[in-house]
Amino acid sequence: MKRVVVTGLGALTPIGNTAPAFLESLQNGKSGAAPVTYFDVTNFKTKFACEVKGFEPTEFMHKREVRRLDPFQVYAVVIADEAIADAGLDSEKLDLDRAGVIWGSGIGGMNTVESEVEGFAAGSGIPRYSPFMIPKMISDLAAGLISIKYGYRGPNYATVSACASASHAIGNAFDYIRLGRADVMITGGSEACVCKVGIGGFNAMKALSTRNDSPETASRPFDAERDGFVLGEGGGAIVLEELEHAKARGAKIYAEVVGAGATADAHHITAPHPEGLGAMQVMKTALQDAQLNVEDVDYINVHGTSTPLGDIAEIKAIQRVFGDHAYNLNISSTKSMTGHLLGAAGAVEAIACILAINDNFVPPTINHFTDDENIDSKLNLTFNIAQDRKVNVALSNTFGFGGHNASLVVKRLES
């Protein structure tokens, strides 16, 4: 097996529009939740979300191109640009047949579907759809756009597994490189579902917090008074590279990817297995793949969505997998700050783990006010304030509707 390292990062999140800005907000425990600005929420049960802020697409591409893309595709191209520049990749110096893109998006162009259907409904009944409607709505076009821009002719596709989509994309990209089938992969995920259909649909499921009087504290994983997740948007991009390939071109290396796991709950279309069986198995699988023991792990970035059932199921799984070592871990949910980026969550949270390794800290779980008697109070859930810690090995969990589970293991590079 080839060794796989991270050589570039890109981020566009509700708490920072670049990877360095994202890092600063993680260190400071910043909340990205605020009242929705994109549309009138008067009649919606939830009136807030974690929107991307201060982002102007035309600063990165021509307005004609922006009109031809869905926001999730704009986000993908912009953060891929950042990651590729950060990695110092030059297409003229790469074997483009061995450079690829695997991208995750749980829903794809929801904004496009909403606007096109609204336009039809308001019209004369004659179907007048944009010729760009289909390319704008399908999830795979993000990967396609990145490959077209940079000329990467290697593996190219999308992963769609709800909230585990980006983690599955990263795991697949990791496999292509370690199996010797690619030298460089651009991977990650993006999502843009802060729209009427997105909030209305999740409201109908009773999945979202309705804490409209205090949006900034609404995402409160593991708190006794949590009442649902906060919808977020944006994405994260990661450049994965074969170790010797990276060394040969003098690339800076953030961390090494050493393991990935994928399992299914086989239980329910939206609810997690109450005992966390799928979550337990996916962590075991990822650690076995990484050839690490539970005692090697320093930090777990949990799925931790701030839902009543999900948070407890994941904690049960962690305690069963890690046993007594669970009390030596730092555990945190960065969704308390970013909200839930759905199919992009795994990319942003993997980046949080990589940054934790590089900057020797653990991001906090903010908005903790009341202990949940069903959660072991002796666990270090890194409440409210970031903690200094040398993180050598970090585990990132993401779980999706349909029972899709993914875990990634990253570690400090050793020679």
> Within 10 A of 201 (CB to CB), how many other CB atoms are there?
15
- For residue 216, what is the DSSP state? G
- The answer for residues whose C-beta is within 8 angstroms of residue 251's C-beta and 6 or more apart is 7, 87, 88, 241
d(CA 204, CA 116): 22
Strands (E), 146-272: 156-159, 184-191, 234-242, 255-264
Q: What is the dihedral of CA 294, 299, 300, 306, to 10 degrees?
A: 140
| Structure tokens belonging to residue 299 | 């930090």
Could you give the 3-state DSSP secondary structure of residue 298?
coil
Cβ proximity of 259 and 409 under 8 Å: yes
Whose tokens are 């990205």? That residue is 32
Cβ proximity of 344 and 139 under 8 Å: no
Sign of the dihedral through C-alpha 170, 176, 180, 181: negative
Residues marked as catalytic: 163, 303, 340
Cβ proximity of 84 and 239 under 8 Å: yes
d(CA 252, CA 342): 30
> Within 10 A of 110 (CB to CB), how many other CB atoms are there?
24
- The kind and range of the H/E element at 403 are none
